[in-house]
Structure 1
Amino acid sequence: MLIADGTAGWSWNPVADLQQMWAFPFMVNAFRAGAIVAVLAGVIGWYMVLRRQSFAGHTLSTVAFPGAAGATLAGVGAVYGYFAFCVGAALVIAAVPRAGRESGGGEEAAVTGTIQAFLLGAGFLFIALYKGFLGGVNALLFGSFLGITTTQVQVLAVVAAAVLLVLAVVGRPLLFASVDPAVAAARGVPVRLLSTVFLVVLGAATAATSQITGALLVFALLVMPAATAQNLTARPVHGIAASVVIALAVTWTSLAVAYYSPYPIGFWVTTFAFAAYAASWGARLVHERLGRAPDRGAAAAGGAPAWTSGSVL
């Protein structure tokens, strides 16, 4: 059904609502793309939170905006700008030696913030230079499910498969290097190489996710499901699975609600993801009051969780 402003409205028949929504090819593509993005963000976001590189993830998400704007100014598809700028920025960040946990990574944070500020300003310059582009700013910044093509879904699937394959290969040593890089390096683990590889796949994942959530809110899908999962469990396999399930639920719910509302999907993604995160903290407080609090994840506790003393997978 339609409401007064011309947008679709809920009815009392959810089956009819779903049939109406999925009658449009762009919505079918949106749900397919959303599923791919959710799995990708859930997995790589878990590692990002564990490695305390949320600021780097936020910078890469911001860089997606000037990437898309610059590609449009150059007369090529925005998708090329997303990947070129995000992966390029990831390589620049990776070139800076990562400081230890104790020092807070000051040099890396300074370079990351500098890149973010400069490229964000460049994005607005690209918009000013390209007349008539202003109508697409909201979609670039806050996301849109309109106009998602089958080609975009296929590109997302290829990127996600490549990123997940890389993580499957390096996942175990990456986990070791993330929890205790000094010990990992002493045992011959290529910590610096793993850090570079991770940042590159994080950049690719950010570029892919930006096409659904928008450049400014991709960070929500990368960090909040992962942080929620690490609140619920300290076990890596369980945590990654929970992160994926939460990201998938948030994305699909956001797509459905955005279809029946005038507000951008990015707003709903952040709202539902924050609700899940708040609920996880509520559950933790209940467990703590009952004296049955689970071990906190490394990112939440500021130290290595209990599973680091034994098998990590």
Structure 2
Amino acid sequence: MLPADLASPLWSWNLVADFQQMWSFPFMVNAFRAGTIVAVAAAAVGWFVVMRRQTFAAHTVSAVAFPGAAGAVLLGAGAVYGYFTLCIATALVIAAVRGRGDREESALTGTAQAFLLACGYLFIALYKGLLEGPQTILFGTFLGITDGQVTLLLCVGAAVLAILALIGRPLLFASADPQVATAHGVPVRALSVVFLVLLGAATAEAGQITGTLLVFALMVIPAATAQTLTARPAASLALAVLLGLTATWAGLAAAYYSPYPLGFFVTSFAFAGYVIALGTRALRGLRTPFAVTVPTEEAA
């Protein structure tokens, strides 16, 4: 049995009192602030990731966040610098190899991903600090988020959203039909590079909350769920942000009242929403009446 000061708080089913008690701690206030910023930026960027069918690129960028953070900690720098440096650098590499053919692009990306993951495990083996360090990097935590980190996340998140809003319309056009967009003078290649940099920045943000192994879930699942429920771009994007916020807030509350990792709860709530969306779409299909063709006398 855990000591009283280490045991998880008890859920009382009085939601107002529970949230008041939870938000009485500055670290939980910072966790919700950081989680809100991360959820909005990740959902917005993730919506275009799903739209552009670049989930493999998003997975690669999220995977290399692990060696980036581990290497930064090994060098004595903050993990946040490693997150942003390697995620954005990897996004630029992916942008550089795009257009060489799907096979060569996938081979280069997968090879680099495997090598960098191996480097991450080497950095962890060389690091002689706290044993909880690797677990925090891989699976995320809401503990120890400082005011300075929240400010940094806010600045990066605001920049990502501002640039995304600026290029949103041409990016949507280029994502839906790149050939037609090119014919109309849309700079498809430049938009792709800018978007991949935004993907790297958003991934580095989200990795600090969910961990590097599960950042892919917060980036992709809310967007995939929203696009399953509606095909209208504006409604789908807004729904993706709402689903990301819901999964993040519910995950933070669940992690506070339990001893289990934050990333597990965020991913589980997001995945549950996706399953419900699939079920809803299936029910819509069952309720759609079948078109029955009645032969006419002329046809007979």
Which TM class, normalised by the smaller chain length? over 0.9
SS in 2 for 1:6: coil
Could you tell me how far apart the structure 2 residues matched to 1:135 and 1:271 are? 22
Amino acid at match of 2:190: L
1:21-74 C-alpha deviation (Å, 9 max, x unpaired)? 111100000000111011101110000000000011011111111111010111
192-201 or 14-23: bigger deviation: 14-23
- Distance in 1 (CA, whole Å) between partners of 2:144 and 2:135 is 14
CA distance in 2, matches of 1:252, 1:64: 23
Partner of 1:217: 214
Tell me how far 1:291 sits from its aligned partner.
Answer: 1.2
What is the 5 A alignment of 1:1-12?
6-12=7-13
Q: 2:231 matched to 1:230?
A: no
Return the alpha-carbon distance in structure 2 between the equivalents of residues 147 and 265 of structure 1: 13
SS of alignment partner, residue 128 of structure 2: coil
Give the deviation of 1:133 after TM superposition. 4.4
Higher Cα Rg, which structure:
2
Question: What runs of 5+ residues in structure 1 fail to find an aligned partner?
Answer: 293-313
Q: Report what 1:57 is aligned to.
A: 58
CA spacing shift, 1:3–1:52, aligned 2, 3 Å: farther
| Distance in 2 between residues matched to 1:98 and 1:278, nearest whole Å | 34
Counterpart position of 1:180: 177
Question: Quick check: 1:74 aligned with 2:71?
Answer: no
CA shift in 2, pair 1:111/1:151, >3 Å: same
Secondary structure of residue in 1 paired with 2:120? helix
1:136 Cα deviation from its structure 2 partner: 1.0
State how 1:223-302 maps to structure 2 within 5 Å: 223-291=220-288
1:195 aligns with 2:186: no
| 1:5-154 pair list within 5 angstroms | 6-98=7-99, 105-154=102-151
Instruction: Return the alpha-carbon distance in structure 1 between the equivalents of residues 13 and 167 of structure 2.
Output: 48
Shift in Å, 1:187: 1.5
How far apart are the structure 1 equivalents of 2:195 and 2:112? 18
TM-score in terms of structure 1 length: 0.89
Contact between 1:213 and 1:266, CA under 8 Å: does it hold in 2? yes
State the shift of 1:206 in Å. 0.1
Moved over 6 A (4+): 2-5
Letter in 1 for 2:133: G
Moved more, 112-121 or 132-141: 132-141
What residue ranges of structure 2 are gaps of 5+ in the alignment?
290-300
Q: How far does the alpha carbon of each residue in 1:220-260 deviate from its partner, in whole angstroms, 9 at most, with x for none? A: 00000000000011111101000000000000000000000
**Cα drift, residue 109 of structure 1:** 1.9
Distance 1:189 1:67 in 2: 34
User: Is the counterpart of residue 205 in structure 1 residue 193 in structure 2?
Assistant: no
Is the 1:127–1:134 Cα contact (8 Å) retained in structure 2? Answer: no
Matched residue SS, 1:72: helix
- How far apart, CA to CA, are the structure 1 residues paired with 2:282 and 2:174? 30
Cα deviations by residue, 1:62-114 (Å, 9 ceiling, x for unpaired): 11111110101111111100000000000000001336xxx7x2222222212
Cα-Cα RMSD? 1.7
- Please give the alpha-carbon distance, in whole angstroms, between the structure 1 residues aligned to 2:60 and 2:199: 11
Deviations 1:128-186 (A, max 9, x none): 11112432111110110000111111100000111111111111111111111111112
**Aligned counterparts of 2:147 and 2:115: Cα–Cα separation in 1:** 34
1:311 corresponding residue in structure 2: none
What amino acid is the match of 1:195? S
